[in-house]
Each structure stands twice: as C-alpha cells, then as structure tokens.
A = this chain, B = another copy of it.
Amino acid sequence: MTLATTPPDAALAELMHDMGARARAAARALALLSPADRTRGLNAVAAAIRAAATDILDANAKDMAAAQTKGLSAAMLDRLALNPARVEAMAAGVEAVALLPDPVGRELARWTRPNGLDIARVAVALGVIGIIYESRPNVTADAGALCLRSGNAAILRGGSESLHSSRALAGAMRAALKREGLPEDAVQLVDTANREAVGHMLGGLGGAIDIIVPRGGRSLVERVQTDARVPVISHLDGLCHTYVHTAADPAKAVAITVNAKMRRTGVCGSTETLLIDQAVAPALLPQIAQALQDAGCELRGDARARAILTGIAPATDEDWATEYLAPILSIAVVDNLDAAIAHIERWSSNHTDAIITQDESAAETFLARVDSAIVLHNASTQFADGGEFGFGAEIGIATGRFHARGPVGADKLTTYKYVLRGTGQVRP
C-alpha cells in the first residue's frame, strides 16, 4: 500500500515543484520584456485562441459529455459550455487586455532627499500568481491574459470538469507565446485531476507562488483562505444596499433600485436590501415596490415597510444578513441618513453600497462615511465590475482590505520597488 501510493504523490510533488520553478523563471523573463513585447504576446495569444476554435470546441464537447453523464446541474453545465461565440469572446477579451496600459515600470512617486539621493517608487510585477477556479474555461484565457499584461506568470488550476477545454486553451496560448519567442511557461496549466495539486499550490510550491486567487463558490474561497500559506486575493460576500434618501429623484430611485436588484440577481453587486427614508417612504415605496414586483421580485419588509406595503412578508435580522443572490429584496424604512449608514455599518459586507439623492451634501456624507470597497451616488450597485470600471478585465473582486480592494485589474497585480540613485552618498 505504501509502495503503491507513494510514487504518485512524490511524482505530483515533483511535478508541482517543477511548475513552480519554471513559472518563476518565466516571470523573471516576462517582467523584463518591454510593454510592446507583452502586447505582441497578448495579440498572438488572441489570434491563437481564434485559430484553435475547432480544437477548443471539440475538447469542450468531451467535457460536456462527461459532465452530463455525471449529472451536473444546468447552471454548472452552462458555465462549462463553450460555443463559437464564447470562444470569440475569449479571444476578443485577450485583445482588450492587450489594449490596456502596461502597468509594469510605472513611476508611482519620485522625490529627492536633502542629501541628493533620488528616490523613485516603481511598479513591478508581483511574480507568480496561482489561480484556482471551477468549471468556467474562460478563466483560463482571462486570468492568463491579465497575468501576461502585468508581467506575472500564471499557474492555472481549473476544475476537473473543464480539464479538456482548459488544456486546449492553455495549449494554444503557450504555443503562441513560444512562436513569438516569449516565455511559454508564463501560462501553465496544472494538467491533472489529482486534487492534491490544490494543496501543493496553497502551500506556495516552496516559495515559487507569490499570491493565490480563488475564483468560484464560497466553499472554494473559504478553503483557500483557511489553508493558503501565501497571500490571497479573494471574494467572499456581496451583501449590497441601496439607500433612497429623502431628497431622492423619484424616477431615478425607481429605475436604479429595479436595476440594482433585478438586472441580474446572481451577481455579487446586486442589491439585497433597500433602505428608504421615512419621509419619502409613504409616497415613493409603493412605486418602487410595484416596479420590483412587476419585474418578478419578492419583497420582505420591516414593520414600517409593511405598514406601507400591506401583504409582504416580514424581514428579520436573518434577512438583513442574507445575500439572496435571487429575486428577493428586504426593505427597511430608516429615520434618516445616519440611520441608513448605521444599518449598512452593521449589516453590509462592505462590498458595494449606494445612495439615491439630489442632495449633494447628503451624498458626500454617505460616500465618505460608508466604508465599503465601492460606494455610489445615483447609480446602480450592479456597476461593481472591472469591465464597467474600464479595467478591460478583472482577476476578481477583492473583499479584503489588504493590497487590493474592489475590482482587481492588471495594475493591481503589481507591487513596487524603490530605486535610489546617488552620487556616492553614505549614511552618517
């Protein structure tokens, strides 16, 4: 038994260690390329994905067949499925990343000390980024492209359901890099269904991995947060609020609330709780509620909301604490701006919270005092998205406070170094 199981484990350890070493070497080479070379690599990768569309779709068909046999849910099958339009969207996404400003080498600050030492803070790549994701094959292309743009090497570990698809994608990307004379190991796929591979990555591969990014459901993210021995950029809860202030424009309040809740209910930026000022609730809440109900939303309310909207279910503390990710909205009538901020401070996951008002002073108070990654005035919480911010793509949305917060684009996949230029200075 020991003899039978030890070799595969040792082989996996060696495989993973080797991937780490190759990633580190590729990261060093990649970071020293010119921005133009990285752009050339990205465009070559996009072209290669397009050229390999047939192979990628054939590989995806194998994954889909296996997934159907295994009885995966319709939602999971939809996340796994590729078609010509989705392959084209991946290629176009890589081209969009190629158009982004290159974040490496930016001078972030520069000053001269009284002794003449010139000090510059310069952006550099983080190094090697491990991405652990579930069934969506497009993460292979998106995350790989963002890492290339930012001079980082990617070690990609997709779900076993998408292994054929990811292999075809990563293969096309690597071949394109090689043809361009660029480091192909900048994009590596962990090409094994062995679940121990994730444990190796979380351990950091002997210092080779600088950060880990989990992309997927809560159980994956929690496991990574608990077990990772390297820093993590991750997304946990999106319990978002929209507050309709006493000076809200009624038409905007209706339109924004309906969009914030119902545009897509399964995304992290969808509003889960509506707060409405007591001064305007009697007149405005029925209009908002009607529009929401017309769109198919279930409403739950506190006592004051139910006094206005008769017949809706009561909302309890459990509702204030729940990220429904479904067409359900909890509603609280609040006394004023302070009470709205207090509710958010108590219940928000500090992801994205909005105020609807025509009162600039109230808006600025809200924007300053609500300590969430994204705060909005007169706009839908569903703008919580890197693409909507103009980042081209995002590696994810960070719900932590350290290093990166909110949508994480290529520029946040960098760190910095201090470059000191002297003329012979010694320290007294």
Contact = CB atoms under 8 A, between A and B. Distances in A.
Give the bracket for the number of chain A residues in contact with chain B: 35 or more
Q: How many copies of this protein are present in the complex?
A: 2
Interface string A413-425: 0011111111111
B231 A374 contact: no
Given A32-B368, A403-B403, A249 B424 contact: yes
A331 interface: no
A400 B403 CA distance: 12
Interface in A365-387: 367-369, 371-380, 382-383, 385
A177 interface: no
A420 B32 contact: no
Interface in A241-300: 249, 251-252, 255-256, 259-260, 263
Nearest to A264: B427
A113 B390 contact: yes
Contacts of A405: 415-418
Interface string A114-129: 0001010000101100
B418 A111 contact: no
Given A401-B210, A422-B378, A389 B119 contact: yes
A378 to B, nearest CB: 4
Given A401-B415, A405-B417, A380 B31 contact: no
A83 to B, nearest CB: 22
Contacts of A252: 424
